[in-house]
Structure formats: C-alpha cells, structure tokens
Amino acid sequence: MGDYTPSELFAVLLARDLRAEDTSAQVGANMSFARAAVMLANRTDHPDLRLVLGLGVNNFAGGGTPPPVYPFLFDPRSLVGESRMVQERVFDDAGKPDVFFVGGLQVDRRGNVNLFGIPDGDGGWKVRGPGGVALATMSTNCRGYYVVMPRHDPRTFVERVSLISALGDRTERARLGFPGGGPRLVISPLGAFDFDDEGEMRVRSLHEGVTLDAVREATGFPLACAGDPATTVPPTAAELELLRAGADAAAPVG
C-alpha cells in the first residue's frame, strides 16, 4: 500500500461514493474513517451534507472547525454544531439520515450483515455480540449504506451469515417493500465490492498489491469478478492533504 493508512483509504473511498442527493449522514459508532469521509466530502463535492456526529449535527463545509476525535462518540464536547442528535427522534423521521455506515461480525455474498453474534444452535450463544444497535432500522430506511469490514477472511466474508442484523439481499428487500436503497459498497482492507443485478457480491476494485487469487482465498464464497479486476484508485495528494488538514482519519481502523 502507498503512503497512506488503511483508515485514510477507507475515508477517501467512502467520500468518493457519496451521492449528490445525500444531504445527511449518520456516523452511529465511533468510526473515525466514516466521520473523515463526510468531512472530506463537505470540503469537496458535498458542501450541503450534514454530519450527525455524537450528540451534535454539523456541516463542515466552508471551514467549520471539526472537533477532535474523542475517545467516545457521545462526548459532551460534541454538543455543538447546528443541531443536536436526540436518540429517540432519529426514528421519528425514518427518511433521514440518507447515509449510514455499518460494521459487522460477518457479511455474506448477498450483502446481509450479522452483528448479533454466533448462535450455539440450541437457543443460546456461542459468541455473543453487543446487540444489533439500530442496524435493522437504519438499513431498512436510509437511502443507502456502506458496510465497512476491518477484516477480510473466510470467517468474516461468508456464504451465509449466521444471523441477519441488516438485510442486504436486494431480492428480499424488493419483495418486502423496503423504502431504503440497501448496501452501496462493501469496503475491506483488500478491496471494494458491490452487487450485480442478481444481488451477488462482486469485485469493484482491489486495493494496490492485492491479487484476485488472494481476495478469493480470503473470501468464504465464490466471489464474482467481471473480467480483469480494476485497481482501487489510491488517495490523491489533494485528498490526503484535505484529510490530514482537517478531517482527521488518523485513528486506526476498527
């Protein structure tokens, strides 16, 4: 990998993929790269995108001073900005935010995400996760979401998740009449992935130095790739400068 961190790469890839119609993005966990992605977007193509960060709602276009990355998302020093994030009210306006960022223990070839844990098959838990947080609701309603996986191996990229916390499968989503657009991208340390017309995960691009064989080896299902895989366009000097000047993606991934 070039002269940038995995976190910076994630931030740049997310920022580039945001859409003109996106006007609000919620960073629901303390993901510094997601926060950095929105701040970078504010300073480039998306000056109107509001960032729901911790307890405040902000827009960092035009030079608003971003707060430092605090150890915890719900830090009282983030009670600043243009508005405040009230937990219960997030769900009173199901059409917003437009964009959400999702992590998980597992993602599968249909784009489903598991954050619950691994059941023991007998009504109990082999591995218990923290809980589903708001993943089910946000992934159902928001315009689009990004799945960011800090690890890429056959245990995290699986044929079928043990439990579904966020339903990504576009066939199922259409059948159930979900309002939201579903997963836009899956990003891992090896590459960026999206979904074909049948809803199967496929390679969009592989990061510098990653071969198709290597990513297939690390994936627990047959990973589709149309022709030769594209190489992820690395962060440009301009993107890195903006990130490092004010968006602070320095904290480690995961």
Contact residues for other proteins, defined by CB under 8 A: 29-30, 55, 70-77, 79, 84-88, 90-91, 94, 116, 119, 124-141, 163-167, 172-173, 176-179
| Residue placing its CB nearer to other proteins in the complex, 84 or 244 | 84
Let me know: does 208 contact 231? Beta carbons within 8 Å.
yes
* Least distance in angstroms from the C-beta of 97 to other proteins: 13
Q: How far is the CB of 115 from other proteins (least distance, A)?
A: 10
Residue 108: strand pairing partners:
158
Tokens 């968006």 locate to 247
**Smallest distance, other proteins to C-beta of residue 176, A:** 5
Comparing CB distances to other proteins, the nearer of 17 and 98 is 98
Strand residue runs (E) in the chain: 24-27, 50-53, 56-58, 83-84, 99-102, 106-108, 113-114, 117-119, 125-128, 144-148, 157-158, 183-187, 191-195, 201-206
Dist. CA 55–CA 174, nearest whole Å: 33
Nearer to other proteins, 26 or 188 (CB): 26
Helices and strands in the chain: count of H runs, count of E runs? 6, 14
- Three-state helix/strand/coil letters over 30-47: CCHHHHHHHHHHHCCCCC
Q: What is the DSSP code string of 194-216?
A: EE-TTS-EEEEEE-TT--HHHHH
Who contacts 70 (Cβ-Cβ below 8 Å, separation ≥6)?
Answer: 54, 77, 78
Smallest gap from residue 82 Cβ to other proteins (A): 14
Within its chain, how far is the Cα of 118 from the centroid?
A: 22
Minimum CB distance to other proteins smaller for 16 or for 96: 96
CB closer to other proteins out of 163 and 225: 163
Nearer to other proteins, 129 or 220 (CB): 129
Smallest gap from residue 131 Cβ to other proteins (A):
4
